[in-house]
Chains A and B, each alone.
Chain A
Amino acid sequence: MSRSLARFSFAERAAHWMAAISFIYAALTGLSLWSTHLYWLAAVLGGGPTVRWGHPWGGIVFAVVLGFIFLNWAGQMRLDADDRKWLAESHKYAMNEEEGLPEPGRFNAGQKMLFWVQSACALLLFASGFVLWWPAQMPRTLLSAAVLIHPATAIVAIAGILVHVYMGLLVVPGALHGMVRGEVSRGWAAAHHPKWLRETSKR
């Protein structure tokens, strides 16, 4: 029996990284317009008009990919009783004291929360972004709402992704490999997703 476990299919990984790239592009172009102090980012990314042109398209790519991910994962992301218990005691997870926490399945409750938060943000970003894309055609009330909703949502989304990246790169060694190559070791699974490991092994 192999020591490796298949964690993410090719489609899942492709989607994840498409989403990641488009998110980063949208975030950087968005940030360049967020503050005049970050406007140098626009210069790096091709200049103001290019940024203004590219940002909505980056957003569209992100929204489409995320839609795919959502349809694929929404079923697995439902929070159950264990998840709620996990969340209530998530400070233990943060302090690397996982004993006593309910055992996570394929995704732990934190990941599930990220999923739901990012999905909600994407929806809001997409809707408000679409309004802002066509300022000449949109009613003023929508524009006024959109200029607030879009950056406010972006703050949440970017902060969430920062945490996600930090976790994936630094806090959980091996996680990046799982998302890159699609497989993890049984030991890794036992450490981070024991319930998933058990369920996979039963099959």
Chain B
Amino acid sequence: MAVVAKLIDVSTCIGCKACEAACQEWNDNGFRISGFTGDYQTHETLAHDFWNLIQFNEVERPDGHVAWNMAKYQCMHCVDAGCMKACPAPGAIFRHENGTVDFDHDKCIGCGYCITGCPFDIPKLSPVTQKVYKCTLCSDRTSVGLEPACVKACPTNCLTFGARSDLVQIANARAETLRADGHEHAGVYNPQGVGGTNVLYVLPDASNPVQYGLPADPHISWTVSLWKGPLKWVGNLAFAGTIVGALFHYLRFGPKEEEKEGGDE
């Protein structure tokens, strides 16, 4: 099965939240009344019951004019997924054949290590079930040949779903068009720090992804890499070394004398 992806063409996103509504409906997450976020955004950030959020970023452009960047924000389905790397429960986070990163909530233990592992701050712990939730790229839809709910709902064709290799080409072509149209820094967001992502963005100004609410150079935290890499070997060696050392010590030197003369007065 080909690796699939979702393409978000930020230049055509109008922040209508159809994707949010479709995501909530399809995944049976319901709708919470939200507090005032200070702008048009539905919630401050993602939640265990809110997996797809349009971020509204009011920024100043280099020419001094204001820009209002709206960009959809959800699990990126990284090729090198930090959540998977950090997860201690075998099978709780797994990758479908089509490249989608998904959670098996029967196996999730709710430790939240994936939250630390994710450079995009996506997985969210439910205070009720004590399990972690995020966008599944509608694996229950894609597995039967449908597009994800958000893509289905998008009115401006800002979202496209398909084979990743095709979408990379479409994205590059669209960025090329935007560059020719005066957006000189237009480009594709497919951050290599996480080995690329299965959610791709076309950004009108790719020189500064932060203005769209995306990390400039996301990568799995070095502490996580160290923890899951070298430290594991250090630890294993330390434990094994201690045990083997004790064994050899006992064989070589044995126990000390239990008692000594001179204790009696």
Stretch at the interface among B139-147, B165-173, B197-205, B245-253: B245-253
Q: A36-B88, A148-B226, A187-B259 are in contact. Are A136 and B112 (CB under 8 A)?
A: yes
- The residue that A136 contacts in the complex, of B124, B226, B227, B259, with Cβ under 8 A, is B124
Stretch at the interface among B4-12, B149-157, B177-185, B232-240: B232-240
B158 close to A (CB within 8 Å): no
- Once the chains are docked, how many angstroms separate the CA of A183 from the CA of B116? 49
- The residue that B256 contacts in the complex, of A154, A163, A171, with Cβ under 8 A, is A171
Q: Looking at the assembled complex, report how far the CB atom of B220 sits from the nearest CB atom of chain A, in whole angstroms.
A: 10
Q: Is the CB of A190 within 8 A of B231?
A: no
Chain A: number of interface residues, binned into ranges: 35 or more
Q: Looking at the assembled complex, report how far the CB atom of B216 sits from the nearest CB atom of chain A, in whole angstroms.
A: 15
- Once the chains are docked, how many angstroms separate the CA of A95 from the CA of B86? 42
Q: Is the CB of B242 within 8 A of A163?
A: yes
Residue of B nearest to A152 (CB): B231
Q: Is the CB of B260 within 8 A of A187?
A: yes
Q: Is the CB of B258 within 8 A of A140?
A: no
Q: Chain A, 95-129, contact with B by CB distance < 8 Å: what is the 0/1 string?
A: 11010000000000000000000000000000000
B111 close to A (CB within 8 Å): yes
Which residues from A are CB-within-8-Å of B108?
48
Q: Is the CB of B90 within 8 A of A136?
A: no
Residue total for B at the interface (Cβ-Cβ under 8 A) = 50
Q: Looking at the assembled complex, report how far the CB atom of B213 sits from the nearest CB atom of chain A, in whole angstroms.
A: 15
B121 close to A (CB within 8 Å): yes
Most buried by A among B88, B113, B239, B253: B88
Question: How many A-B residue contacts, CB cutoff 8 Å?
Answer: 152
Q: Is the CB of A148 within 8 A of B223?
A: yes
- Once the chains are docked, how many angstroms separate the CA of A65 from the CA of B164? 55
Q: Chain A, 159-190, contact with B by CB distance < 8 Å: what is the 0/1 string?
A: 10011001000111110000000000111111
- Once the chains are docked, how many angstroms separate the CA of A32 from the CA of B111? 12
- Once the chains are docked, how many angstroms separate the CA of A22 from the CA of B90? 25
- In order of increasing CB-CB distance, the 8 nearest A-B pairs are A135-B112, A186-B263, A187-B259, A48-B109, A191-B260, A190-B263, A33-B88, A148-B223
- List 13 A–B pairs whose Cβ atoms lie within 8 Å, in order of A's numbering: A3-B264, A39-B89, A95-B253, A140-B121, A144-B223, A148-B226, A159-B238, A159-B239, A162-B239, A171-B255, A191-B258, A197-B263, A201-B265
Seen from chain B, the residues whose Cβ lies within 8 Å of a Cβ on chain A are 86, 88-90, 92, 107-113, 115-116, 121, 124-125, 127, 130, 221, 223-224, 226-227, 231-232, 234-236, 238-239, 241-243, 246, 249-250, 253-265
7 additional contacts (CB under 8 A) given A36-B90, A53-B130, A94-B253: A3-B264, A95-B253, A148-B224, A148-B226, A166-B246, A189-B263, A190-B261
